[in-house]
């Protein structure tokens, strides 16, 4: 991740309009990822996990769940959250690691890798390097999920409408409206304007994954609340 974006995610930002949005957001993502875990014995890596508030829901469907985030502040918060719940058999299967630790994992040691809402913050070269790493780490036939991919020329108004639809369906529309107004004045918008986000057309993402050694296809629905974004399932070959 480029350093300005990493600095933003490592800061005390206000990208979530309130605690309710954050909780529902992470719960929905966790439930949808858990449904795609290939087996209850699978060793799973969530790369760029964010705060992973409901990672225990994913862990319940796995043999082991590795959570990785580039932001040290985020990793510390995740580790503290699940350290307090070691008595629970699901959260005991969760381990927090840094990106450099991912690079040192044994070859072909993972069954499922999740990269949710990450590639937009990477350059095309960084994403290609990451996909190649994941191909090395996955077992033959292992699964890579790349989701929340932004198509080119997606208007900001579409992104806002998706958030408001999600908020209305979960009882915090008023808070979301105030949150959007606050976001317009935030560092996130300034960074997005200055640096931009990396967007992919469907054929481009399929070609990137193929170049890294995957057979891929687009899923009918994205992971998370945005119907305008895309998700892809790729299998190592």
What's the pLDDT at 54? 96
Q: How far apart are CA 90 and CA 30, in angstroms?
A: 13
β-bridge pairing 110-116 and 43-47: parallel
User: What's the mean pLDDT when you consider all of the chain?
Assistant: 90
Q: How confident is the model over 27-65, as pLDDT tens digits?
A: 999 999 999 999 999 999 999 999 999 999 999 999 999
- Stretch among 18-32, 38-52, 70-84, 185-199 having the lowest mean pLDDT: 185-199
Confidence bin at 90 (pLDDT 50/70/90): low
What's the pLDDT at 86? 55
- First-to-final CA distance of the chain: 27
CA distances from 11 to 62, 72, 152 (A): 31, 10, 28
Number of domains in the chain: 1
Give the CATH number for residue 91. Answer: 3.40.50.150
The owner of tokens 């760029």 is: 48
CA distances from 156 to 122, 128, 142, 220, 228 (A): 19, 26, 35, 22, 11
What's the pLDDT at 43? 97
Judge whether residue 76 has pLDDT over 60. yes
Give me the domain span that covers residue 59. Answer: 3-236
What's the pLDDT at 61? 94
Question: Which has the closest alpha carbon to 26: 62, 50, 59?
Answer: 50
pTM of the model: 0.91
Q: Are 92 and 69 in contact (CB under 8 A)?
A: no
Return contacts of 72-76, CB within 8 angstroms, 24+ apart: 72/10, 72/98, 73/10, 73/11, 74/9, 74/10, 74/49, 74/50
Tokens for 181?
Answer: 């107004």
């Amino acid at each position: 991740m480029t350093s300005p974006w990493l600095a933003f995610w490592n800061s005390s930002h206000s990208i979530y309009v309130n605690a309710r949005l954050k909780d529902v957001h992470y719960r929905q993502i966790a439930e949808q990822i858990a449904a795609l875990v290939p087996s209850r014995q699978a060793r799973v890596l969530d790369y760029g996990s964010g705060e992973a508030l409901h990672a225990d829901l994913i862990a319940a469907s796995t043999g082991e769940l590795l959570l990785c985030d580039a932001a040290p502040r985020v990793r510390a918060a995740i580790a503290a959250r699940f350290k307090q719940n070691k008595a629970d058999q699901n959260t005991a299967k969760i381990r927090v690691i840094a990106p450099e630790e991912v690079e040192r994992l044994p070859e072909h040691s993972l069954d499922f890798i999740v990269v949710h809402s990450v590639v937009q913050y990477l350059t095309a070269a960084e994403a290609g390097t990451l996909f190649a790493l994941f191909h090395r780490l996955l077992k033959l036939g292992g699964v890579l999920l790349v989701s929340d991919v932004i198509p080119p020329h997606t208007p900001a108004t579409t992104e806002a409408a998706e958030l408001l639809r999600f908020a209305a369906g979960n009882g915090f529309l008023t808070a979301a409206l105030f949150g959007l107004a606050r976001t317009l004045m935030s560092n996130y918008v300034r960074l997005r304007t200055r640096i931009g986000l990396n967007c992919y057309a469907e054929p481009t993402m399929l070609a990137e994954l193929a170049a890294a050694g995957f057979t891929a296809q687009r899923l009918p629905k994205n992971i998370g609340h945005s119907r305008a974004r895309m998700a892809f399932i790729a299998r190592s070959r």
